[in-house]
Amino acid sequence: MSAALLRVDKVSKRFGGFTALQDISVDIRPGERFGLIGPNGSGKTTLINCISGALTSDGGSIVFDGHDVTRLPAYKRTRRGIARSFQVPRPFRTMTVLENLLVAIDFGVESHGLSGDQATAEVMAILEKIGLADKARVSSGQLSQVELRKMELARAMAARPKLLISDEAMAGLAGAEIDEVLDVLLKLNGEGITVIMIEHIMQAVMRFSERVMCLDAGRIVCEGTPAQVMDDKRVQEAYLGA
């Protein structure tokens, strides 16, 4: 059994008198495809914000790749290898797709030492992998919704992550577009990148994930294989009501 790449140990987060997360513990293995599900307000986004550094947890610890990152700011976690995409893409719309990724390299990879040509070559390789190479010189403001989602993943990849957190990358997409994004995530995982998928599209989560965890009201309801989680009555109640 491989040592955990990410270890979340009894993490809690409160907002005033509201407890958003209560003693969440989970280990994510290197190269794993991990699904995180739960109804709206269950704590999914709060948990990934605590992992990525957008929020600081009030209790517990987060260890990534052998280093305690619990109190590190988000940009330092990115430089250690934690990258995320966002549900609502916010590209630099006056920049081309290529320029958006070059910014991500400069920000996310500390002292990368690349010349301009080398950085461009690295970015173009990412865009080729994602399926956006033909859009490299196009303004990001002209991209379709599925292309914007792919660019979000590409920007995250430009930071050379060991762990990629995909936050509802398929929300609002049609069936064929969902398949496109799913194929991209599977390809990235196949190259050794650990992926946490947060998604409401259950079929996509179940197709992608090796292991799934369900949250409800800031607590872990169930964790196991996709089939085990979908068969769990507590998960069904969390989504459908008792």
Q: What are phi and psi of 38, to 5 degrees?
A: 155, 155
In a domain, 165, yes or no: yes
Listing DSSP states for 209-227 in one string gives -SEEEEEETTEEEEEE-HH
* pLDDT tens readout for residues 16-60: 999 999 999 999 999 999 999 999 899 999 999 999 999 999 999
- Over residues 2-17, the mean pLDDT reads 94
Determine the Cα–Cα distance for residues 127 and 136; give it in Å rounded to an integer.
7
Q: Output the pTM of the full model.
A: 0.90
Q: Within 13 Å of residue 214, how many CA atoms lie on the same side as its CB? A: 25
- Over residues 110-133, the mean pLDDT reads 85
* pLDDT tens readout for residues 62-100: 999 999 999 999 999 999 999 998 888 888 888 999 999
| CB atoms near residue 105 (< 10 Å) | 21
Share of the chain above pLDDT 90, in %: 68
Q: Are 158 and 148 in contact (CB under 8 A)?
A: no
> What is the residue-averaged pLDDT of the chain?
91
If we measure between CA atoms, which residue out of 38, 36, 40 comes closest to residue 52?
36
Listing DSSP states for 151-162 in one string gives HHHHHHHHT--S
The letter for the amino acid at 55 is L
In a domain, 216, yes or no: yes
Listing DSSP states for 121-138 in one string gives HHHHHHHHHHT-GGGTTS
Determine the Cα–Cα distance for residues 99 and 95; give it in Å rounded to an integer.
6
In a domain, 170, yes or no: yes
The domain total for the chain is 1
pLDDT at residue 172 is higher than 90? no
If we measure between CA atoms, which residue out of 2, 7, 26, 30 comes closest to residue 163?
30
pLDDT at residue 4 is higher than 90? yes
Q: What is the CATH number of the domain that holds 174?
A: 3.40.50.300
Listing DSSP states for 48-99 in one string gives HHHHHTSS--SEEEEEETTEE-TT--HHHHHHHTEEEE-SS----TTSBHHH
Q: Which residue has the tokens 């990412």?
A: 126
In a domain, 13, yes or no: yes
What pLDDT does residue 105 have?
A: 84
Residue 171 structural domain: 6-90+159-240
In a domain, 147, yes or no: no
In a domain, 26, yes or no: yes
In a domain, 106, yes or no: no
In a domain, 73, yes or no: yes
Label residue 202 by pLDDT band (50, 70, 90): confident
Which tokens is 232 given? Answer: 């769990």
* pLDDT tens readout for residues 135-162: 999 999 899 999 999 998 998 888 889 9
